[in-house]
């Protein structure tokens, strides 16, 4: 069951060497996820950790910074998703003090409190993946909603929102703090998420919606274009994307490959983490 899985799986997979690095227990691939050169850019030490409802304010702040108002996940949906299925919500964090690079993030004021060993270092959210489970093989309008009475009435027949035991993981939001665009964090975070979900056995596939300009980005992360979606959210015009776990062998992240997407914008740079990513706008519902 997902709750049992959540208790067993690693709660923090470090992606860089840092004074507080912990030995990863959730998959050996984590040990190879390093970021050469980050120490030269404000001592960013990114690591992956499962989100909880305690991260609500940081998730809302990140969402507000990353998306225009009509494309944001609402506070109510965050509360619902982080309460009902936090084990499939993933955050990209970096430790930082008030002078660190991550302190410039709009999520810094609501960062996770420091631990007793390093009282000046907070855990700052710089990216997240938010999801629910569904029994459908493609994203539906119902899967993007949530029951208004979910706290008092748990109906097994309600198709809205999270469906416990559903074998499709529906990704609703992929976001990186704008301050850190162009560093390859989006690609890294998404691939890490796919790896974790496949290793967990919690589902058979990850599904999401994307507009045309983001198809190549998701294809480069192991997704396949399933054609035009019937979902009418936001005016429609979506494409169904899916990553079936038996379709491909997930590779360790290789940051020597800078060709993240054929749809990168004119702000591409020679940054060691690759070209500027296209914005994740409208990959949020």
State pLDDT tens for residues 170-188.
999 999 999 899 888 999 9
Q: Alpha-carbon distance 169 to 207, whole Å? A: 6
**What does the mean pLDDT of the chain come to?**
75
Both tokens of 239, joined, read 């494409």
Task: Kindly give, in sequence order, each residue whose CB lies less than 8 Å from that of residue 144, ignoring residues fewer than 6 positions away.
Answer: 170, 172, 231, 233, 285
Q: Is residue 256 part of a domain?
A: no
State residue 147's pLDDT score.
Answer: 81
**Separation CA 254–CA 73 (nearest Å):** 31
Number of domains composing the chain: 1
Task: Tell whether the model's pLDDT for residue 248 goes beyond 60.
Answer: no
For residue 266, is it within any domain? no
* Residue 127: inside a domain: yes
Interval 43-53: pLDDT, tens: 678 899 999 99
Q: What is the mean pLDDT of residues 111-128?
A: 90
For range 248-266, the mean pLDDT: 38
Residue 140 lies in a domain: yes
Lowest mean pLDDT among 35-44, 70-79, 219-228, 273-282: 273-282
Q: Residues of 245-272 as b/e, b for ≥16 C-beta within 10 angstroms? A: beeeebeebebeeeebbeebeeeeeeeb
For residue 276, being part of any structural domain is answered with no
Q: What is the dihedral of CA 149, 128, 177, 218, to 10 degrees?
A: -110
Residue 137 maps to a domain: yes
- Residue 112: both structure tokens together: 């996770």
Is residue 197 in some structural domain?
Answer: yes
Whether the per-residue pLDDT at 249 is higher than 70: the answer is no
Has residue 117 been placed in a domain?
yes
SS3 (DSSP) at 64: helix
pTM: 0.72
Q: Averaged over 103-112, what is the pLDDT?
A: 95
Q: Is pLDDT of 54 > 90?
A: yes
Give the range of the structural domain holding residue 42, as residue numbers without chain letter.
Answer: 2-244
Render pLDDT for 179-231 as a digit per residue (tens, 0 to 9).
899 888 999 999 999 999 999 999 999 999 998 998 999 999 999 999 999 98
Residue 12 sits in a domain of what CATH number? 3.40.630.30
Q: Is 169 a residue whose pLDDT tops 80? A: yes
CA–CA distance, 161 with 155 (Å, rounded to integer) = 11
Q: Is 121 exposed, middle or buried (0-12, 13-18, 19+ CB in 10 A)?
A: buried
């Amino acid at each position: 069951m997902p709750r049992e899985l959540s208790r067993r799986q690693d709660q923090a997979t470090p992606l860089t060497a840092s004074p507080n690095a912990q030995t990863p227990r959730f998959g050996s691939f984590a040990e190879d996820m390093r970021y050469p050169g980050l120490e030269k850019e404000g001592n960013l030490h990114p690591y992956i950790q499962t989100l909880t409802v305690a991260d609500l304010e940081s998730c809302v702040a990140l969402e507000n910074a990353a998306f225009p108002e009509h494309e944001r996940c609402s506070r109510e949906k965050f509360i619902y998703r982080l309460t009902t299925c936090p084990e499939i919500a993933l955050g990209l964090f970096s430790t930082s003090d008030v002078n660190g690079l991550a302190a410039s993030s709009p999520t810094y004021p609501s960062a996770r409190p420091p631990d007793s060993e390093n009282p000046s270092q907070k855990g700052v959210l710089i990216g997240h993946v938010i999801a629910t489970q569904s029994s459908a093989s493609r994203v539906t309008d119902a899967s993007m909603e949530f029951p208004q009475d979910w706290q008092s009435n748990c109906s097994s027949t309600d198709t809205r929102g999270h469906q416990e035991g559903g074998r499709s993981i529906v990704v609703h939001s992929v976001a990186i703090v704008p301050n850190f665009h162009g560093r390859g964090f989006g690609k890294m975070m998404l691939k890490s998420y796919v790896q974790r979900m496949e290793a967990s056995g919690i589902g058979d596939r990850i599904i999401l919606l994307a507009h045309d300009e983001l198809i190549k980005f998701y294809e480069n992360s192991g997704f396949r274009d399933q054609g035009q979606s019937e979902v009418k959210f936001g005016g429609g015009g979506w494409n169904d994307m899916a990553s079936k776990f038996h379709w491909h062998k997930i590779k360790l992240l290789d940051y020597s490959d800078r060709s993240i997407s054929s749809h990168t914008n004119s702000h591409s740079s020679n940054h060691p983490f690759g070209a500027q990513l296209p914005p994740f706008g409208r990959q949020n519902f």
